[in-house]
Amino acid sequence: MNKITIDKNKNIPLYMQVYSQIKRFIENGSLPGGYKLPTIRSLAKELGVNNITIINAYKLLEQNGYVYTKVGSGTYVCEDIKKDDEMEENIKSLDQGQFALRKGMINFASSSPNPELFPVEDFRELINRVLKRDGGYAFEYQDTKGYKPLRESVKEFVKKDQIFTSIDNIQIISGGQQGIDVVSKALINFEDAIIAERPTYSWALASFESRGAEILEVELQKDGIDLEELEDKLKKFKPRFIYVIPNFHNPTGITYSEEKKKKLISLAEKYETYVVEDDFASELSFTKEKTLPLKAYDKHDRVIYIKSFSKVYMPGLRLGFIIAPERFVSSFLKAKYVSDLSTSGLMQRAFDLYLRENIWVKHVESIKQVMYERFSEMGRRLENLKNYTEFEHPKGGFYFWLKLKNNLSAKSLYSKCLDRNLMIVPGDIFFMGKKENSFVRLSFASCEVKEIAKGIEILGEILKGYFDENNNVYVPII
């Protein structure tokens, strides 16, 4: 095995140092699948550390799917490790994912409403008003922090979500992904620990990884993140932050209970860390319960709130904002400057009017209605596939998250769907270490009701084929 180095003066726990290095050796292939790791005792001796350090490192490697233990034999490197180039494959498939171009395809993949639903006419008018009013100044560099009137509008806008903040804490960004990137730049140093839900939005993970973070996953339960597992990891790893999507989660559709939201913040306070909240769709609730963002419960100023305008309004705006705890305001500003200097002034000025004059209200009402119809149709149709899949009905957002029965491979299902001009998203891209291969994400964001009916019908036929083929159909009891 390559040499592992330990630095007792570093601010990183020893077993984390051992974990990081072995993980890297596995990922870069210098420890191949099937390789037997040194025994705990021998490695502890070699490094001059306690056995418990190595035990903890190996346990973490196992939890994250890098190694497995054979009782009485030892610890071995797994065969099916996520390689660097896998992310590239994902992006390539996403790039092919310009499926709107492939005629007649039913699109259960896209995470934003179809362009016909965008409030284009309102924006055309607003853009022209801004150009007439501001001329060349609309094309000047904008303040790095964001166009001040827009920050004022945002301050008013978030009051509907029980968020009360100052314009000094608002940082305008070019969409939610940039928000994640800016926060990563400002907060993550090489080898810092980060906690994320398992599964979660994969391009957040990519951003953390790109900064050299060690990502630790914590399981999602039906009402939010597993708080016990979380507390355990908070204690051990002192992570820089916990990244969560508390409302209408991507990909699982899960919404945190109010209780869990509050407890999550208390834990962050207790362990002196922060929660990064990714809010892409909390406007789109299908129930009468109020689904407030985590930030609404943030008494301790522990929540970094990232809001995207891409999904509910229009992706092409490239707009969003961060509400930052006081202490991060200037580091986020610097990270934004390094990223792209500033966000388009024209879009900021137009969106300011859109918020300021409450034009958004009617759009949100109408898109909520449309999404509710699509959600209902998909949910109703999916009920017929309960022989083959397990799932919950989300309380809002865009996604159904299906667990395929009999460990059916989601990738194989994906290919078969593609053959029938149906695009779904295999769930493995939303996991880090140990892959889960039997989940799929279905989005109803960009399909008409009729298409949804057709798409689920196709999906059902394909699933039926699998289960028939394999002679292990689940016969309904009635």
What is the dihedral angle through the alpha carbons of 250, 253, 257, 263, rounded to the nearest 10 degrees? -20
CB of 286 to a copy of itself, least distance (A): 24
- Decide if residue 145 touches a copy of itself (CB under 8 A): yes
Query: How many CB atoms neighbour CB 189 within 10 A?
Result: 10
- If the CB atoms of residues 313 and 375 are measured against a copy of itself, the closer one turns out to be 313
- If the CB atoms of residues 9 and 471 are measured against a copy of itself, the closer one turns out to be 9
- Decide if residue 228 touches a copy of itself (CB under 8 A): no
Helix (H) or strand (E) holding 433: none
Helix (H) or strand (E) holding 441: strand 439-443
- Decide if residue 73 touches a copy of itself (CB under 8 A): no
- If the CB atoms of residues 3 and 70 are measured against a copy of itself, the closer one turns out to be 3
- If the CB atoms of residues 206 and 364 are measured against a copy of itself, the closer one turns out to be 206
Q: Which among 206-214, 231-239, 269-277, 299-307 is the span making contact with a copy of itself, rule CB under 8 A? A: 206-214
Binding track over 182-201 against a copy of itself, x by CB under 8 A? ---x---xx-----------
CB of 207 to a copy of itself, least distance (A): 5
Query: How many CB atoms neighbour CB 305 within 10 A?
Result: 26
- Decide if residue 139 touches a copy of itself (CB under 8 A): yes
- If the CB atoms of residues 153 and 343 are measured against a copy of itself, the closer one turns out to be 343
Assess contact for 346 and 139: CB atoms under 8 A. yes
Q: Which among 169-177, 241-249, 364-372, 384-392 is the span making contact with a copy of itself, rule CB under 8 A? A: 169-177
Residue 181 CB partners (closer than 8 Å, separation 6+) = 207, 339
Detail the DSSP E strand segments found in 347-433.
389-390, 399-404, 422-423, 425-426
Considering only residues 330 through 349, tell me which ones interact with a copy of itself, judged by CB under 8 A.
Answer: 330-331, 333-335, 337-347
Assess contact for 197 and 244: CB atoms under 8 A. yes
Binding track over 278-317 against a copy of itself, x by CB under 8 A? --------------------------------x---xxxx
- Decide if residue 143 touches a copy of itself (CB under 8 A): yes
- If the CB atoms of residues 79 and 116 are measured against a copy of itself, the closer one turns out to be 116
Considering only residues 372 through 401, tell me which ones interact with a copy of itself, judged by CB under 8 A.
Answer: none
Give CA–CA dist 278/296, Å, rounded.
13
Considering only residues 432 through 471, tell me which ones interact with a copy of itself, judged by CB under 8 A.
Answer: none
DSSP track, 153-208: HHHHHGGGGT----GGGEEEESSHHHHHHHHHHHH--TT-EEEEEES--HHHHHHH
| 9 Cα distance to chain centroid | 34
CB of 405 to a copy of itself, least distance (A): 33
Give CA–CA dist 75/150, Å, rounded.
56
Considering only residues 118 through 137, tell me which ones interact with a copy of itself, judged by CB under 8 A.
Answer: 118, 120, 123-124, 127-128, 131, 135-137
- If the CB atoms of residues 234 and 245 are measured against a copy of itself, the closer one turns out to be 245
Assess contact for 153 and 126: CB atoms under 8 A. no
Picking from 283, 435, 350, the residue whose alpha carbon sits closest to that of residue 138 is 350
Binding track over 87-116 against a copy of itself, x by CB under 8 A? xx--xx-xx--x-x-----------x-xxx
- Helix axis angle for 202-210 and 176-187, nearest 10°, is 30
- If the CB atoms of residues 98 and 471 are measured against a copy of itself, the closer one turns out to be 98
Binding track over 9-38 against a copy of itself, x by CB under 8 A? x-----------------------------
- If the CB atoms of residues 110 and 285 are measured against a copy of itself, the closer one turns out to be 110
The helix/strand/coil state of 29 is coil
**Structure tokens given for 425:** 């998203």
Picking from 230, 232, 292, the residue whose alpha carbon sits closest to that of residue 257 is 292
- If the CB atoms of residues 83 and 124 are measured against a copy of itself, the closer one turns out to be 124
- If the CB atoms of residues 52 and 341 are measured against a copy of itself, the closer one turns out to be 341
Give CA–CA dist 58/76, Å, rounded.
10
How many amino acids of this chain bind a copy of itself (CB under 8 A)?
A: 72
CB of 309 to a copy of itself, least distance (A): 11
Considering only residues 33 through 72, tell me which ones interact with a copy of itself, judged by CB under 8 A.
Answer: none
**Structure tokens given for 451:** 């298409």
